[in-house]
Structure formats: structure tokens, C-alpha cells
Amino acid sequence: MPDFTLAARSPLAGAAALAESWPGFAVSEVTDLALASLATRRGRETEVRNRAKARFDLEPPPPGRTASGDGMTFLWTGHEQWFVEAQESALGGLEALLRETFEDSAAVTDQSDAWANLRLEGPATRAVLEKLCPLDLHPGAFPPGATARTTMEHLSAIITLRDDRWRFSILTPRSSAGSFLHHLHQAADSACGAT
Amino acid sequence: MTAPDRIVAKEGIAAREAARPAGAAAAASCRRREGGLIDRSRSLSFSFDGKAFAGHPGDTLASALLANGVRLLGRSFKYHRPRGVLTAGSEEPNALVELRGGARREPNTRATVVELYDGLEAASQNRWPSLRFDLAGAGDLLSPLLTAGFYYKTFMWPAAFWEKVYEPLIRRAAGLGRLSGAPDPDSYEKSYAFCDVLVIGAGPAGLMAALTAGRAGARVILADEDFRVGGRLLAETHEVGGRPGPLWADDVLAELAGLDNVRCLPRTTVYGVYDGGTYGALERVADHLPVPPPGRPRQRLWKIVARRAVLAAGATERPIAFGDNDRPGILLAGAQRSYLNRFGVLTGSRTAVFTCSDDGWRSAADLVRAGAEVAAVIDTRPDARCPDGLTGLEDVALIAGGRVVETRGRLGLTSIDCLDRDGRRRSLAVDGLAVSGGWNPALHLTCHQGARPVWRDDLATFLPADDLPPGLAVAGAAAGGFSTAAALAQGAERGAAAAEAAGHAVRKPEPPEAEDGPVAVTPFWHVKESRARAWLDFQNDVTVKDVALAHREGFRSVEHLKRYTTLGMATDQGKTANVQALAIMAELTGKSIPETGTTVFRPPYTPVAISAFAGRSRGKDFRPVRKTPSHDWAVEQGAVFVETGAWLRAQWFPRPGETHWRQSVDREVLAVRNAVGVCDVTTLGKIDIQGADAGAFLNRVYANGFAKLPLGKVRYGLMLREDGFVMDDGTTARLGEAHYVMTTTTAKAVPVFRHLEFCRQVLWPGLDLQLISTTEQWAQFAVAGPRARDLLREIVDPDHDISNQAFPYMACGEVTVCGGTRARLFRLSFSGELAYEVAVPARYGDAMIRALMAAGAAFEVTPYGTEALGVLRIEKGHPAGNELNGQTTAANLGMGRMVSKKKDCIGNVLSERPGLNAPDDLRLVGFVPLDRRAQLTAGAHFIALGRAAVAAEDQGYMTSVAHSPNLGHSIGLGLIQRGGERIGEKVRAVDLVRGADVEVEIVSPHFIDPEGERLRA
Amino acid sequence: MRIPCPLCGERDASEFTYLGDAGPRRPDPTAPDAAEAFHDYLHLRDNPAGWHVELWYHEAGCRSWLQVSRNTLTHELGEVRRAEDLGLDEPSP
């Protein structure tokens, strides 16, 4: 039988815009994180929290927040729903690990391939994002560890502040990630000057 | 100082005037050697109507033209009257020019706010052949015929002339600038901002408000339409805290610039107030440059969300209406001072002042101080005298109780006639006239949520109402605080209150000292003795007589007056006209101004280009593009793409030698029927449904039964709306005890998800189920055709048995492919052939299509696009978007029996409505042309043979057509009354739009394999 | 307009999808007058000038269906609650 082994391809593989950088701003694609959604089954709220605590030593975060522990980061995405991130290598299947952890107390769905994961960083990041993001990203309103789902240029986006300065990440749907990156590129040119 | 005799009307005026030569000096307006806020050390060249001029940084186009002695800037909209500059701000009705050239040409820009740059090109508008000799100016002689309501009265009959004769005629004669007609080469963008306090206007009130809130630590945005902060301080000679006004403004700006929590936006007009503390603002990022720098937009549209806002937009001066008050050289007094004090420009070599308030006197005082000649102050107040605090006016003639009745000068003012208190007429040789009729607060933004301004008799003006937009306060002249001291104090107070409301502790500031003169105005609207036309709305050429005519003809309400006369329309929205017209209407009706009413204002405050609203959403960036996992591969194959929603899908894959799309599509269809084809179906919506009650939920949202779907099986599902019509269809697979995956049509993926969440959260919150979209997670390919299984055996790892026995029609399961990659396999068929859909995590989608093609080479695999997909499903009689059009029921589609009567589901009850179950209702059937060479058209209506093709004879319509390469002729699906009972009957398919009329036979909709043997093979 | 989502905080109205009056409850499909009741449920709506309780869906955010009190004259917003929580508080039909 011939070998048809499938090679993986990230959502923005080969995108020219990823090779550029601007004074005070850079964007890169994160390709080594697995992602799965976790949604509490009806009436199992306490159990989900206990299992998360026991296995990952973290409390599933409240609305608008992230929480990290034991190689896992939980991003709040909806009522009793989180996106869980983990290093691809730590994986053996994040979906399987979460299923095993939460059993039937929560619904787990692989989202690793559904989103492009962009890292935005640099002191000009907020100046770039104010052209795209309809949320207040001032540190007072969007502190470190904050996360929010919104739309940017008609596209769904989950934005998270990853450190205490200006390192953000944005998850945006895979199929339209090229359009998103194009808009990000234009915003960066406008905020930081075209190269 | 109250001595009325400090200034005396000189008996000698007549003698002095008699001694002057007729006509004005050579250059009526000119630049002074010194003074003003311009940088004389640098020169900027520019052109107007092709002629070269020079100005300085700090100039506007208007000030630079006036500095060069150019007073005639354009022709008026209706009568082509010669017009110059009336104001020095954004309220300008007259001085509209075309700016820039080529694709960047922009019509109707106000020369009074165009910041001068080196190389600026401008041209006058609405004149032919030239500005000085405008032939259409002859229309002015016909003006008695062109009064208000002229269009309504004149261009009525015959109706056939409306479009062909009247409209082109009017459009040619009346008009403003020309668009370039070329795509705008510049970019526009949007930005979002949030603040505690938005301060609108950077005059004394706005600067003080921003400073107070900024010092308290509030997040402040200070926006001003001008390119330099200071507002009215730039135009006057006032001091603030002992510093010249402009320098004080610069000091404040410097302090604000040093505060991290304050953002200053010059060249930014806040044009609208919206709900919830949202403000629209337009920043002219690069309008003051010939071309925007690389990457930068020309303009930026801000959406500002502010907890509090302080409107400190100042005030707009009112003209007074008198005979021929529109000649170049006649300016508002405040504007004349602005040109003098800010730009160092004299707007006349000899100027008279016509005023009904103390404020107009400032013009005389400033002119005298600048060494310019002031012919007279004509003050409408019989007891007029020089206001306190103004000096140097001892030698200026005063005509108390006076009126300017007429003016002269063909292309610019040369003299005026006035009446004195006793009705004596005298002539003054002046080429400049500064007119002040009092000030109107710039309260426009206060009206954007519906509030109506309130008349204040003591100030003779409208003030903002009490029911302001939530969170908005008004300070300074915009609130009736006309003196500099009042503006500073109100700004400080409102700024402090706004910062406090946003949670910041504020130390009460001590406003700096400044002039605090009282408002002394006796309103005076128009000169009754004038016989020539007295202009109210310069931009729309509306006169006092037009208002009188409107009154006589019964158009007396303010809104009627506006529509009848066009007063207050167009780019300036009547900023220098509305209040006077209202006052004149009040006079005519014998009512007070408050009884007569006021017009309210809507956004935008000043014009905003459509490009700014569009922002980046232009051309190919109009909306995002969604690409399928096999997109790059399809590009390599030379596929032709089609937009389906935001998705780009391969429509067909042309091969060398194929010259017509039908050749490609026919080949792809036959390949699926005879061998095997592969199609990317990732775009179908996929929804992951998990939970103990997932099955019960599906049974409620689908019309057909889902309670007993076994594990490892897929079922077709028909979804109804609650009103009984079909919403969508698709399949749902059961992957686990409490785990299902639903597919939707590509178009309905989003609305179906929204509907399911509605059912889950609102209708049945007690059910245990969780929903999440997995459309993007899985790359999914249809593999269809008699050799589909052979191909998949090369792909699916051998430990998974996909034989017909182990994996029959409508089976599904999790498998691995290509040596261990996890995948999902569904035995589904849209084509009617033996078919599967195989899904892999999207990262493997590109590799998967290549693997399928490589593995399929031995089986003559052919990629097929959406066109072939459509032909295959029409041949099989499957309804799709054309049939699920929101107007069809399950019964219409021949699926009435699928709607379970044994359970509650969405749409079940109302699908039983008698109206949806009439015996002669539409049914989906197939159609073939009797003449097999004829082509059917979708949208054709069915008419019985021998009947007229009229609506009353309509029996239904064709929904989908295709050329069937298997049958060798055109086939169609359509909805026709009692269709199922009429197989074999012949009718006409009439398409009046495309001129087609084809006799067709009604047949079964299943053109291929009606028994479904192939898909179970 | 800005809607205070009880989970996400205040967001621009463009993030939400509007459905309409939150008052009507889906009738009992087994009742003898079900057809009439469903007709009322679907098609008969109050159109008050003033306060109105409506259903909005925070589609671009947390995907919660919300019961939003809104003054139709001023666009002032009152109490906003998750419809699911409210539904769970009610006795099921």
C-alpha cells in the first residue's frame, strides 16, 4: 500500500505577512498549542470545578478571565464553557485527556484545527488593535489575564492579554485567517508606518 | 464708561464719502506685514483655477486666497451669483471648491477649513466658462421665476418630461462640484476609543474641561475640528490669565500632551451622538497633505465610547438679511476678525460694520488697532454706543439705529447704502462689510437624541434643552456662556463634574482671569426697507421673499418651510440661516419664536465622506473570504471559484482543451456517475451536540423522528421554523451515546446554530446538552461514485472494515486514515451514487485532497465543483437552497409524511394549518422539455397549455434547472399545483424575463436511479 | 446602543442579534387550542412606546440569549438577564 501519510499545515502556513515586522509591533502564528472546548453538563458545575482543581490545580475562570495550571490554560468563552489550551507535545490528545479528566461531567470537543492562533506583541500593539478591536483594551479595563470574544472586521476573534504589558493572542477562525491577517497588516501599517 | 458721546455720528460722513473715488482700492483684501498665527518664514505654493499663489503654514485656503486679494470664490447653487467667503469655519455656506486633481478630486470642500499645503490645487465650482464670466449667471435675471417652490410648480407637466427633460436640465444648471469619477486611491479606516470624558471642542471651555478632567486622572479625549487648538481665542485679541489667548491655549495643550491619560485629536470633528454614550468622530489624518504617507489613511472614522462628554463647540455667528447681502467682501464680523487676528489678513481696504450687538463692535476696534480704515459702525439699536472696554474708536463714525439696505459691486463689494435712525439714506464706499446678527450656540449635537433647543429671550438665541443626551453636558458659548470668563468657568465645572462622575476625585480648579463682557444684543433679522433680494440661506439661494412666499402659500411650519424653500439643506445644513428664517416666519405669523418652533439637527454635524463610513470594507476587502482546506490545491488545478456566502468554493475544474464550462461540468458529472469524484464539502455547517438530552433535543428541532437514531448511524433531518415552513435540512450522525454531529447547509450554518441555541436556552433550558460549532475543525470531502469504496480502501486504514455489510448506507464512525490520522467517515450521498464523506482535522485537509487524488488515480478519480454537485443533486431530485427558499413546506417538497405527528417539534403545530395543506398546493416534481433541444430556465412559471401567460393562470414555478449529461438534455425541478398527481401532463414553462416559453412534461423528480439502488451498492 | 451583557459586560449592539418580545411563551402543543395559541405566540406582538422586555442573542460574544429591558423611546437599557437562568427559575410547562 502506498504511503499517504498526511502532513499537517497550520492555518497561516506560508502567509507573507507573518514575515514582516513593524517598529513596536510584531505578529506571529502559534502552531504548537492544542485547543479543546469544555462545557459543563447540566447541574455538574461543582464537579467540573473539583475535577479541574484535582487534575490541573486550577479553578476554571469566571467570565472574561483566564486561568493556568499544570500546563493548561483555561480561557472563558461562554456560560459554563471554556477553551482549554495545552502544548501540543503535552498532548497524547488533549481531547482525550480532558474526556478522561471530566468523564461525563462536561462535554469536550476538539478545537485545535478550527482556529488560527496569532501572537501580537510590542509596545504599539494596542495602537494597532484599536483599529480592529471594538473592546476597551486599556490596562484598567482589560488587565493581564483578561479574555474576550468579539468580532473584528466581521470576523470572530477571541482576544487574550497574555502578560502584564502588551503581549496579546487572538484566536480567529481558520478559514478566514488570511483575511484577518490582511486587516491586521493594514492596521499595523497605519499605526506603525508601512515598510 | 457709559458716556454715549464717546462716539458721535459724524455729520461729516457725507462729505467724506463724496471725496472718495468710486469703487474700491485695487486689492480689496490683503495680508498684513505682521500679526496672526501664520509662519511667514515659510511659503507654500498653491493654485486656484489654475493660477499660482503663495500662502503660509497656518493658513486655510480661504485665508490664503483673501491674502492674495482673491475674494470671488464661487457661484451660487441656483442663481449662479458671485460669492466669496462668509465665515472662517465649518459653517461656511459659500466658499465651496473642488480640491485636488485627478482621482483625488473632491467636490464641495469648504475653503474656510481646508488647511493649506504646498502644491494644493483648488478650483471654483458651478461656473461656465469661467468664474468671472459665468453664462449661467444670466439665470439670475430670471430669478422672479425661480422662487421657492419653483420646481414643484414649474416642472409638473407633462410627466414624460420629468426624467428626460427637466431633471437633466436642472442638474446641469444647478449643482455643486464634480466627482472625479475614478476610484479613490486613498484608504480610510475605522478606530475604536474609550474614555471617561470626551471633550468636544478645544476653545477656552473645552481646554479648561479637558485640563480639569485630565489633571484628576480621568481618561480624556479632546477633539477639535480645527488644526490648531484655541477655538475663538485664535480669532480674538483676548487674554487669558494675562497671556495672549492663543499662547494660553498652547500652554494648556502642552500640559495635556504630557498627561498619559489624555489624548488630543486635532482635525477631528465629532459629528454625531449615538445611544449609550457612543460618539462618531471623523479625523482628517492626511487631508492637509498632498498624498497620505505610505500605509496611512486619508481619514479615520472614530467610534468613541465615553462615560461622560462635554460639548464645548462654541457658537456660530448669524448674518443679517439685507439687499444684496451676498457680495464677496461681506463677511460675518467674527470671521472678519478671525482673518485679521489669526491669519493677518484684511478682508477689506475700507470696512464698515453692521451690527445689532456689542459684539460686532469688536471688529471695528480690532481693525482700528491694526491701522485699517473703518468707514462706520452701523448699529441697528437706536441708542447704540461704543461698548465698555473697547478703545480707539473715537474717530469711527456711528450710525445708530442704522440699517444697510443695499450694496453694489458686480464681483465684489464696492459700496453700501444705509439708512440712519431718521430714514436718511447715505452711501458708503467700502469694499469690506462685517456683519453681526448675534450668535447661535453650536448645540447641534445636543439634538441628536431628539432634544429640541429652547429659546432664551435675554440672550436672543436658542440654548440646549434640559433633556440632553445621557452623559452629555454643555459648556461655554455652546451653552450660552459667551464671554471668555464664562467659558473657562463652565469648562472647568463641567470637566470636574464629568471626571467625578467617572469616579475621579477632582480638585476644584481656579479658572484663569479673562474678559467677562455681558451679552448685549437686540435681535435684528432683516432690513425691511431693502428692495433687492435679501439672502438668508446662501448655499441654497433662499431669500427673505421666499420665506414670505412660503408663508403666503401656507407652508408655515418649520418643517414645511424647509422642504418648500430648501432652506437649511445641503452641506452646511443652514448653520448660518435657520434661526433667521425661523424668526422671519415668526414675524410673518405674528407668533413668538418659541411658538413658531425650531428645527432639530441630525448627524452628521458636518459632512462625512461615504469612504470614511466604508473604511477598509471596499473592493476585495468588502468582506472577509473563507477558504476551504483544499483551496490552494484547487488553485493549482486551475479551478474556477464561486462565492457562496463568504466562502470561495471551486465551481469546476477546467481541463486543457475545454472551452466551455459545460464541457468541464458534464465531464465531472459523468465521472461521478461512472467512476469516482471528490468534492470539498467543508463549507457545510457542522455542530457538535453532546449531553444526556441531545437525542431528545434533536427529536424536537427536527420534524422527522430522531429519538431512535442508533449509534453509528446518520439520518437525514428536516428542520422547520415554528410557522411550519422549512428552515433547513441536513444530516445528523450519532457518534456516541450522548454525542451527535449535525450538518447544516452552507448558507444556514449561522442561523441554524442561533436557532438551536434559542431552543436550548430559551425554550428548553432544563435539557442537558451542549452545542459548539465544528465547521472549521474538520476538512470534509465527498467521495462519490461506483468506485468510491475502492478509493477509500486505499485511504482508510485496513483495520476498519468499510465493506457494504460492515459499513452500509447511512453508517458513520470514527476511523483512522493514511496510517493513523484520526478521521470520521459517513456513508452519505447527495449525488445518488455510492458515496461517503470523510472528515479529517483541518490541518490535514490540504494533504487529504492530495492523498485522495493520488490514491484515486487508479480509479480515474475526478475532482468536481459546485456546478457538478448541483447537476448531480438535480438529477437525483434532492431539494437544495433553491427549493428551501423560506416559502416552502415539507408537503411542498414531497416530504410531508416525514413530519412526525407523534411528537412535539418546532413547526409541527402550525404545519397543520389549513392554508399550508390545501389540496391544490404546490408539489416538487421534475420537468423535461418536449423538444429535448430546448433549455429550461429557473424562475419560469408554469401555465396550462393554451392559456394566457398571466398571473391569474400561474400554477407554480421552476426552481432549479441543469443540463443532464446522463440524459443528454435539460432537466428541471419545480413546484407546481398538485404536482404528484400530474405526472405525464404537459404544461408551458414561461419565463417572461428571459423571453422563454417551453412546453414541458411533468415527470418524477428522480431522474436517476429512482429506487436508490446505486447509493446502497 | 450598548447592551450590558451580564457575562461579558457592556458591548456594542452590533454584537447582538435581535429577536423581539420576550413575553410570549411557547404554548402547549397538545392543548386543544394549540393552533390558535401558536398563532398568537408567533404573530401577535405588543409594540409598546416605552419599556419593553426583549430577547437578544449575544452572537459575537458569549452566545447567551438575553432578556433585555429596553425603553423603545430612549434606548435606555434596564435589567439584562440570561434567558436560560430565567427559564430554569420558571416551572416547566
CA distance C17 to chain A (A): 13
Mean pLDDT on B322-346: 98
Q: Of A63, A134, A150, which is closest to C7 when you measure between CB atoms?
A: A63
B762 neighbourhood in chain C, CB within 8 Å: 55, 65, 83-84, 87
Rounded-to-integer distance, Cα A51 and Cα A82, Å: 14
B454 and C CB contact within 8 Å: no
CA distance B773 to chain A (A): 9
In tens, the pLDDT along A75-87 reads 999 999 999 999 9
Whether residues C64 and A150 touch (CB distance < 8 A) is answered with no
How many residues make up chain C in this entry?
Answer: 93
Work out the end-to-end distance of chain B between its first and last CA atoms, rounded to an integer number of angstroms: 110
Q: What is the dihedral of CA B567, B572, B576, B577, to 10 degrees?
A: 0
How remote is the C-alpha of B393 from its chain's centroid?
Answer: 51
C87 and A CB contact within 8 Å: no
In tens, the pLDDT along B543-564 reads 999 999 999 999 998 889 999 9
Q: How wide is the angle at C-alpha B146 spanned by C-alphas B143 and B147, nearest 5°?
A: 100
Is C42 a domain residue? no
Q: In what order do the strands lie in the sheet with C17-21?
A: C17-21, C51-57, C65-71, C77-82
Q: Which of residues 47-76 of B touch C (CB under 8 A)?
A: none
The count of domains in chain C is 1
Which domains, ranges and CATH numbers included, belong to chain A?
19-31+114-192 (3.30.1360.120), 33-110 (3.30.70.1520)
CA distance A56 to chain C (A): 24
Q: For residue B131, what pLDDT band results from cuts at 50, 70 and 90?
A: confident
Chains that touch B (3 or more CB pairs under 8 A): A, C
Mean pLDDT on B273-288: 97
Rounded-to-integer distance, Cα B657 and Cα B654, Å: 8
- pTM assigned to the model: 0.94
Is C77 a domain residue? yes
Q: Which residues of C touch B (CB under 8 A)?
A: 1-2, 10, 12-13, 17, 19, 26, 29-30, 34-35, 38-39, 41-42, 55, 57, 59, 63-65, 74-77, 82-85, 87-88, 92
Q: How wide is the angle at C-alpha B511 spanned by C-alphas B509 and B513, nearest 5°?
A: 155
Is C40 a domain residue? no
Report DSSP state, residue B170: H
Q: By the 8 A CB rule, do B111 and B331 touch? A: no
Rounded-to-integer distance, Cα B385 and Cα B400, Å: 8
Of B222, B435, B200, residue with least CA distance to B325: B435
CA distance B768 to chain A (A): 5
Q: Of C8, C63, C84, which is closest to A148 when you measure between CB atoms?
A: C8
Mean pLDDT on A150-161: 97
Q: What is the value of ipTM here, to two decimals? A: 0.97
Indicate the burial class of B469 (C-beta count within 10 angstroms; 0-12, 13-18, 19 or more): buried
Is C32 a domain residue? no
In tens, the pLDDT along B631-688 reads 999 999 999 999 999 999 999 999 999 999 999 999 999 999 999 999 999 999 999 9
CATH value at residue C52: 3.30.2270.10
pLDDT at B996: 95
Is C68 a domain residue? yes
Q: Which of residues 904-963 of B touch C (CB under 8 A)?
A: 904, 908-910, 912-913
Q: Which residues of A touch C (CB under 8 A)?
A: 63-64, 77-79, 134-135, 148-151, 156
Work out the end-to-end distance of chain C between its first and last CA atoms, rounded to an integer number of angstroms: 35
Q: How wide is the angle at C-alpha B683 spanned by C-alphas B681 and B684, nearest 5°?
A: 80
**Does the pLDDT value for residue C91 go beyond 60?**
no
B848 and A CB contact within 8 Å: yes
Q: For residue B408, what pLDDT band results from cuts at 50, 70 and 90?
A: very high
Whether residues C87 and B762 touch (CB distance < 8 A) is answered with yes
pLDDT at C92: 47
CA distance A101 to chain B (A): 17
B690 neighbourhood in chain A, CB within 8 Å: 39, 41, 107, 109
pLDDT at B5: 37
Mean pLDDT on B302-327: 98
Is C10 a domain residue? yes
Is C52 a domain residue? yes
In tens, the pLDDT along A11-26 reads 999 887 788 889 999 9
Is C43 a domain residue? no
pLDDT at A22: 95
Report DSSP state, residue B36: S
pLDDT at B177: 80
B217 and A CB contact within 8 Å: no
Neighbours of B176 (CB within 10 A): 17
Domain of residue C56, residue span: 1-23+48-88
